[in-house]
Structure formats: C-alpha cells, structure tokens
A and B are shown apart, each in its own frame.
Chain A
Amino acid sequence: MIKLNDSERIIALAGNPNVGKSTVFNYLTGMKQHTGNWAGKTVVNARGRYCFNNRDYILVDLPGTYSITAHSAEEEVARDFILNGGADATIVVCDATCLERNLNLVMQIMEITPNAIVCANLLDEAEKKSITIDIQALEKELGIPVVGTSARSGKGLTELMKRVEEVCAGTGARLTETAPLLNTSEIRWKNAERIASKVCIGCKTCSGCGKCGTSSVLNKRDRKLDKILTSRLTGIPIMLALLCIVFWITVTGAQYPSDLLFKVLFWVGDRLAALLHWFNVPEWFNELIIMGVYRVLAWVVAVMLPPMAIFFPLFTLLEDFGYLPRVAFNLDHHFKKAKACGKQALTMCMGFGCNAAGVTGCRIIDSPRERLIAIITNNFVICNGRFPTLIAIISMFFVGMAGGVFDTLLSALILTGVIILGVILTFLISRLLSETILKGEPSSFTLELPPYRTPQIGRVIVRSVFDRTLFVLGRAVAVAVPAGLVIWLLANIKAGDISLLNHCSSFIDPFARIFGLDGVILLAFILGFPANEIVFPIIIMSYMSAGSILEIESLTELRALLTNNGWTWVTAVSTMMFCLCHWPCSTACLTIKKETGGVKWVGVSMLVPTVTGLIICFIFTTAVRLSGLI
C-alpha cells in the first residue's frame, strides 16, 4: 500500500509479542488480521488504513519484537521501517500487566525516533490483577505521549488516534534529541526498573518494586495448566489426545453436512444439465460444463467445506488459548536431537492450515540453516487440501461406512496416526538434512510461553470461517474450475480409441504399480500440482471416463467405483502415504522460492518428500506382496 496523496500519514505499530498489537491494528483499521496467542504471529508487515479528523493514516503492523537491535530478520525489518520507512510516527504498544519488560523496547525506539507514542494496552487485564498504571507519571518520565487502552473493547483508542494526530502535526510532546542505540542494555533496564517502580502500582512482576522475591508464582492458574499440559507424564499424551479429539469432532461433524451437500449439489447439477438440454445446448458442451467443471467443483465444495468449517475454528480456539507454544515446548527435545529449532513446531502447526502459510511462518526461525530445514520438511504436515482425501479413503477402506461413534473415532485415530507418522518423518528428515546438505549444530533460541487467554469463542468462529475456511475454499474453487475443464478435455479427447488421460496413465502405470499405486492415481497427483484438493476428483473422473459408473452420490458408490478399478486396502494405504509425502503444491513451491530466494531449494523441497514417499510406498507394497497378504 502506498500513499495516495501527500496528506496521508504513515504510522508504524511496534511492540513486544503478545501485547495485543494486532488487536489495536484491527480495531483501528477495521481489518480482520488474524490474531493468535503466540510470539511471531505477525511475520509480515500488515498494512491498513484509518481515517481520523478527515485525514487518512496508513498503519503498518510490525512484527512483535523485544528489541530492535536487529539480530533477527524480523527485528531488522522493524528497525529499518522506523528509521528509513518514512514513518511519521511510531506507536509502541505495551502490556500494562508487565510494563517494565516493555519499557526496554520503548527506550530503544525513543533512541531512533523522536516521534514515538506509548500505548499502554491490556489495561483491563491489569485491572483484574489489581495493577494500576499512573499514565501521567509515565508520560512525564518518558517525555513522550502515553495513552492507556484496552484494545479488545476499544477503550482509549480514540484518544490514541488524537495523540497520534498531535505528534504528526508537531503539536504533541516529542523528544528533542535521539541517541541511536548508544545505551547498553544494562542502562536501559536500570532505567526501566526505575520508571516502572514509580508508575506501576500493585504490580508484582517488575524487579524494580522490590516485591519480586514473593512472585515466584506469577499466575497460579497458568502454572497449574502448564503443569498438566507440559509435564513429563501428561504433556505428550494430552497433546495427542487433543489432536485426536479435534479430528474426531471434525470427522463426525462433517459427515452429515457432507452427505447433504453431495445430494444437493448433484441434484442441482442434474437440473442444470436438464436446463442446458432444454436450451438445446450441444451435448458435448453440456457434458463439459456439468460432468467436467461442475462435478469437480461440487466434489471440492462438498468434501472440503464441512471439515474445514469445523477444523479451523477448533484449531483457532487452541491457538487463541495459547496452546501452540506449549506444543513447541513439549517437542523441542526431539527437534534438538534433530539439530533443528524448537520453533519448527509452530511452523508445522501453521502448515496444518496451509503449507504455504507454514513456509512463510518459518521466518520466526533465526538460524538460516534451521529455517531451511523447517521449510523443506513443512510438507510432511498434512494441509487442509489433503485432509479430505485422507478422510475419504479412511472412511471408505478402513472404517465401516455406517458412521457410528466407533467408526468416526477409529477414523480420527487413523488420521492422528498419519499425522504422527508425518511428525516422525519430520524429525528423521530434519536430522538427515542436518547431517548432510545442511550440516550444523542446533543454534540458540528463546521460546516464549505466553499467558493463557480465554478465547473469544464467537469471534474465533466467525473469523476462522470467513478468513480461513472461505479463503482456502475460494482458492480451491478457483483452481478446480480450470482444472476440471482441462481434465475433462483430457479424458474425452481420444487419440485412437483411448482418451489422452488414459494414454498418460497407462504410460506411467507400470512405474506406479511398483509403489502400490496405479497410473491414474499417480497422474492425479501430478495433475493435482496446482492444488491438492483436486487430486481425488481427477481420480474419479479418470475412472468414470472408463464408463463404469456415471453417478457418484455417496461414499458407498465411490468405494464401488474404486474397487472396480482394482483398489485394495494396499492401494488405499499407498495412496494415503503418497498423499502425506509428495511434492508441495504450486502455491507452496512459489512461496518456498520467495522465502529462500532460489530455485535450488524449491527443487530440494520437492525431491525430499517425493523420494521419501516413494521409498515408504515401495517398502510397504513389497513387504505386503512378499508376505502374501494380497
């Protein structure tokens, strides 16, 4: 976003992680940037606009940092923007419940810009902890404007906009001189302690107030929760159980809406076909639109929408609650063994939604070597484009399709198993990379465990449905339409007696069979490169073009279609394994290129999971064949 005219002001929004920066940003700009309860949520500078007193302001949300002394990429971004990005003013958002800790960044920013405004946020939470901040005293100590806010409810934000206006106009309090990062951190902290002890009343967390000997238990509820969620005995089991429960709710809850959507969408499809027929549209065109484009679209919507609309809100609830950093805390031991960074667990969590997002999220890892490892292995996390394929295969081949409680529980367990396999592969491959092309020792890092927050359930649901679910679905639909068209053409343009699609699939069929797949499945994965969501529709369409079944209205019929085409449980397992381990989709590949700055790492990121998948499928299929199980 660039300035539309000269009267616009650019305002930088800085602050420590987890102080409600994104909440302030969203409230002011009315934008719906996703907020999450963990450090590193904002890895790219989000930009938004707001208007105050007939003047437009561009607000730039910088990544949350403890400092701008630039020892990581995100801190460099923050510092460079404040120094050289032409920011007219910088708002430093602070957490009123532990002001002292935030003052370090305030002082660093005051050293590089005279136009800073402090926003003491989370006053509501401070009040709950009986902490009061003497805003006037703080303003006097710092010499710059200070505004107390509770961004969640919007309290104090009008005042904030007013003070920003004053600073931009040069009428507000501003510093007369800056001393570019000359102070040592010791001087800054001593200063912070002195100021905090003067302005914080009732605070037990600052060291300046001298009460800290008594504050070993900062927040009793949090420590109790941590004891349960991260202890030796219960930490890992609870993590797995939570994962399984999320999947169980997703699978169970998605079943009925999915069936209904299938029925409705296919009924509409039939009516559309009849309508086109009535208009005397040429038969081939009718087939192209209905059998090609519409059916693929209907499949993608019916199969993807319900699970996503359930999974995303559940996952967002865990995220808002502050659970994800605990996952990283629990798993760090394994990452250390793999000579990788513990924050990789966070990037993997992002990969659940979309691997491209996971790859971008790898910016939170400082060490370039460990960042590359995290990027290359992110594809071992099943993204939501691949979930529906897995769920469909699981319910068709391994669980009764009656859909009882036990069936869905078993589905969830199998799905959890696949995820765990992906996590184990991540550890192994990370280790392998650390020993070979990305040799090195694990680097130092700090992981913040933020306070637990009660998620705002209503907002979480609305947000995750509108921002994530519909966004991802929209992208899938955008890919499905042209892909459906191309695939229908491939399936219906004949060379000799056989369609182009069949020519291709029978060409690679012998190769695919070595890995327990068949030519159609492998071709579907190849053609599914634009988006994983369309892999299964391609498989169906390829089989249907052979003319066995024309109407697919339920999973039972789909299963019949697959078994008629030679699917066994071995095919099902191999397909699931290959779904877990194959090249990233086109969006993820483009993101990898952007993030690593080269085609080389895209190649590695495509090869590593693909080779892994082929090896697993080969070993599995060969073992089953040798043991005579099929």
Chain B
Amino acid sequence: MLIKNLTNMCVGESAQVALLLNKGSIRTRLEDLGLIPGTRIHCIHKSPYGDPVAYEIRGAVIALRSDDAKGVLLNNND
C-alpha cells in the first residue's frame, strides 16, 4: 500500500496527518502551527507554478514548499 504525503493531495481534498518525518527547525515550526498526528489538513490551492501549495491548518492558511510537504505523511483511510 502506498503511503501518501501532503504533496499527493489534490486541491479540495482533506486528510488526517499520520506522522511527521521532517527534522530540525521546520519540524518544530510545523508542530507550532498545530501539525501533529491526528490533525486534519485541507489542500486549498496551488501557486502559479504548482509549488508551493497552500494548506489550511487549524484555521490558518499556510504555504509549504514540496520539499517540506513531502515529510508530512497522511492516514490512508480517507
């Protein structure tokens, strides 16, 4: 079974965070934004070149580059 990460999400989709693989300061930063296992995240829209992508995390719209979004794994069950 393929494990999905944030970059696999289509615009309009929503999913639940399973695990963060990011290391270092970006991990803390994502956690500070409320991105922890169990958090629901929505893919809102893509920038003109497709990267970065804006996600809704706990009511805030946050743009992430694909390099960072790759590390956020999602639950497969929805």
A residues at B contact (CB < 8 Å): 66-67, 69, 71-72, 97-98, 100-101, 104, 185-186, 189, 192, 205-207, 212-213, 215-216, 218, 222-223, 226-227, 230-232, 235-236, 329-330, 332-333, 336, 342, 366, 442, 444-451
- Per the CB 8 Å criterion, the residue count for chain B at the interface is 40
Q: Using A69-B32, A332-B52, A366-B25 as known contacts, say yes or no to A223 and B45 having CB atoms under 8 A apart.
A: yes
Closest to B43 in A: A216
Which residues of B have CB within 8 Å of A445?
Answer: 26, 65, 68
Contact status B44-A226, CB under 8 Å: yes
User: Which residues in window 42-77 of B have CB below 8 A to A?
Assistant: 42, 44-52, 54, 56, 58-65, 67-68
4 further interface pairs, Cβ-Cβ under 8 Å (given A444-B22, A444-B65): A185-B32, A213-B14, A218-B61, A330-B48
A104 to B44, CA, bound (A): 23
Are A444 and B37 interface neighbours, CB within 8 A? no
Which residues of chain A are within 8 angstroms of B8 by Cβ–Cβ distance?
A: none
Q: Are B40 and A207 in contact (CB under 8 A)?
A: yes
Given contacts A98-B59, A226-B45, A236-B48, is CB(A336)–CB(B36) below 8 Å? no
Q: Hey, which chain A residues are within 8 Å of B12, CB to CB?
A: 216
Which of B25, B29, B31, B39 interacts with A207 by CB under 8 Å? B39
* Contact partners of B14 in chain A: CB under 8 A: 213, 216
Separation in Å of the A43 CB from the closest CB of chain B?
A: 17
Chain B residues, Cβ within 8 Å of A206: 58-59
Residues of A within 8 A of B62 (CB): 446-449
Smallest CB-CB separation from B71: which chain A residue?
A: A444
Q: Which residues of B contact A330 (CB under 8 A)?
A: 47-48
Interface secondary structure of B, over-half rule:
mixed
Q: How many whole Å from A329's CB to the nearest CB in chain B?
A: 5
Give the shortest distance, in Å, between A545 (CB) and chain B (any CB): 52
Chain B nearest CB, measured from A248 CB (Å): 24
Complex Cα distance, B24 from A222, in Å, reads 32
Q: How close is B24's CB to chain A, nearest CB, in angstroms?
A: 8
Task: Give chain B nearest CB distance to A613 CB in angstroms.
Answer: 29
Q: Closest residue of chain B to A222, judged by CB? A: B61
In Å, the complex CA distance between A450 and B28 comes to 21
Q: Of A101, A342, A451, which one neighbours B34 at CB under 8 angstroms?
A: A101
Expressed in whole angstroms, the minimum distance between the Cβ of A381 and any Cβ of chain B is 21
Distance of A184 from chain B, by nearest CB (Å): 9
Q: Which residue of B lies closest to A186 (CB)?
A: B36
What are 26 sample pairs from A and B whose C-beta atoms fall under 8 A apart? A67-B28, A98-B58, A98-B59, A98-B60, A101-B34, A104-B34, A185-B28, A185-B32, A185-B36, A189-B31, A206-B59, A207-B38, A212-B40, A216-B12, A218-B44, A330-B47, A332-B47, A332-B52, A333-B52, A442-B67, A445-B26, A446-B33, A446-B64, A446-B68, A447-B64, A449-B63
Does the CB pair B52–A342 fall under 8 Å? yes
Question: Which residues of the partner chain B approach A104 to less than 8 Å between Cβ atoms?
Answer: 32, 34
